[in-house]
Amino acid sequence: MPKLLTTEQMAEFASSGCLFFDELIDEQTNKEFLDDIGHTDIDKADSVNDFYKNIKATSSIPRIPAGTPLKEAFPKNSPLDKIFKNEVVEGAITSLVGSNTIVDHQFLHITFPTKYFNQANQRQMSQANHQDSTIDPRSTFDVQLFYFPTEVTKEMGGTRYHPGTHLRIVNEMAIAKYQNILGQKSIVCKPGTIGIFHSGLWHGAGVNFSENIRYMFKVRLQPTEKQELLWDPEKKYQPLPNRALYWTDESKDQTINDILMKPYPWQEADTNRLDKINVVKFWRLLTGHKKMDVDYWLTRIENELY
Amino acid sequence: MAKRQKVLVLYLKFPSLEAEVISWATFDGTGKKLHMTGDSDTPPYPTGLDALLDGWRLFQASQAIPEQPGEEHRTSYLKHEFFFEKLEEGDF
Ligand SMILES: [Fe+2]
């Protein structure tokens, strides 16, 4: 049975645009995946191109035509089939993009250590910040699932990402000039970790200063149905009543609304209010409560009497 | 002696040089240091004013552009952008 996300996890996703499941995939499956792609000692892999060519020639990772249902995408009992049948992975996917999700694309990202750049006489640079694909003004969203089959240490330059940026609509690499953004994070994880990003989350690959190859397998998934209460089929979620603003009551417990209203250090003094408004609008779509609000951000300006 | 340009781009919390730095980029035309995305987690200066105090010369700042009617809540790029330069003399 898929293990659906909790309302707290959904609120975390609505606010930050990402969720992580540390060491979720078991050691055996990680090993099968690495064996399948022909993971080898660094000394035995000569050039970047040959390395990719070998994986494409021998691994069980299929060529999946865009738009293929996820359920039909991977060969039965292959490592990726096992990963997508993990109850937590399946539950998170069902909660975010539904049980009839389709594959947009997949890719095995490989970040090579310094040695390869020295050999090829190339400058070893990190990947600039970007938003994947292209300008995406939809209310619908896709998710990108990341699987890390090996440990990722700090020096391996794991995926850099910027929590809370997913609802800012930009044009792909047009954010490349933001070299560093306050609050930026880089993935450091144990083998078998799964990350799920909202398709709008700003990100980029780091530089691998270690001695080892870094792998990240990515699949982009699209919903085929409205993403409303998919994690809560019994429709138990009810918005909270208004609370006091500014002159606040500190004795009250933290709630879902506190998760939704979480500030991020990179947000401007003016625009962070719009970021909050956009999280509330996103939460309205996710919950189907079209008039719900948090901290009066939308109610205040929807009180138009003329 | 040749001259080379170093460029510092700061994104601030609000459109005044007194505001805190929320994003930054450095491009070093002297070739002494190669900067790249994700290379530091701490801003080089706490505010834009601190960059001026350290000798950086402002040469461009973003304008205030009114939000498009009907799209007032749409969010996009970082808004308060300031470009600075320093010229360095040396044998490059
Ligand atoms: Fe990307």
User: Is A182 within 8 Å of A8 (Cβ atoms)?
Assistant: no
Shared domain for A194 and A144, answered yes or no, is yes
Shared domain for A167 and A285, answered yes or no, is no
Shared domain for A162 and A267, answered yes or no, is no
A170-200 confidence digits (pLDDT tens): 999 999 999 999 999 999 999 999 999 999 9
A54-63 confidence digits (pLDDT tens): 888 889 899 9
On average, the pLDDT of chain A sits at 95
**Is position B12 within any domain?**
yes
Shared domain for A212 and A283, answered yes or no, is no
Which of B23, B40, B75 lies nearest to residue A271, judging by beta carbons? B75
The alpha carbon of A133 and the centre of ligand 1 are apart by a number of angstroms equal to 8
Return the beta strands (E) in A10-142 as ranges: 18-21, 68-69, 102-111
Domain hosting residue B6, numbered range = 2-63+77-90
The token duo for A212 is 């080892």
Q: Which residues of chain B have pLDDT under 50?
A: none
Q: Is the pLDDT of residue A42 over 90?
A: no
Domain count along chain B: 1
**Is position B16 within any domain?**
yes
Please return the burial class of B75, using the count of CB atoms within 10 Å of its CB with bins 0-12, 13-18 and 19+. Answer: buried
**pLDDT > 70 in chain A, percent:** 98
CATH number of the domain encompassing residue A11 = 2.60.120.620
Shared domain for A67 and A142, answered yes or no, is yes
Return the beta strands (E) in chain A as ranges: 18-21, 68-69, 102-111, 143-148, 160-161, 180-181, 185-186, 193-198, 203-204, 214-222
Residues A43, A151: Cα–Cα separation, whole Å:
19
Domain hosting residue A185, numbered range = 7-222
Identify the domain boundary among A222, A248, A271: A222
**Is position A141 within any domain?**
yes
Domain count along chain A: 2
Name chain A contacts of B21, Cβ cutoff 8 Å.
Answer: 182
A96-146 confidence digits (pLDDT tens): 999 999 999 999 999 999 988 888 888 999 999 999 999 999 999 999 999
Residue in B closest to A167 by C-alpha? B75
Name chain A contacts of B74, Cβ cutoff 8 Å.
Answer: 169, 274
Residues B92, B1: Cα–Cα separation, whole Å:
8
Shared domain for A208 and A287, answered yes or no, is no
Task: Look up the pTM and report it.
Answer: 0.96
Identify the domain boundary among A170, A197, A222: A222
Q: Is the ipTM of this complex over 0.90?
A: yes
- Give the DSSP H or E segment for B10: strand B2-12
Size of interface A-B (CB pairs under 8 A): 91
In which residue are the tokens 């892999």 written? Answer: A45
The whole-number pLDDT of residue A120 equals 84
Shared domain for A198 and A269, answered yes or no, is no
Task: Assign A221 to helix, strand or coil.
Answer: strand
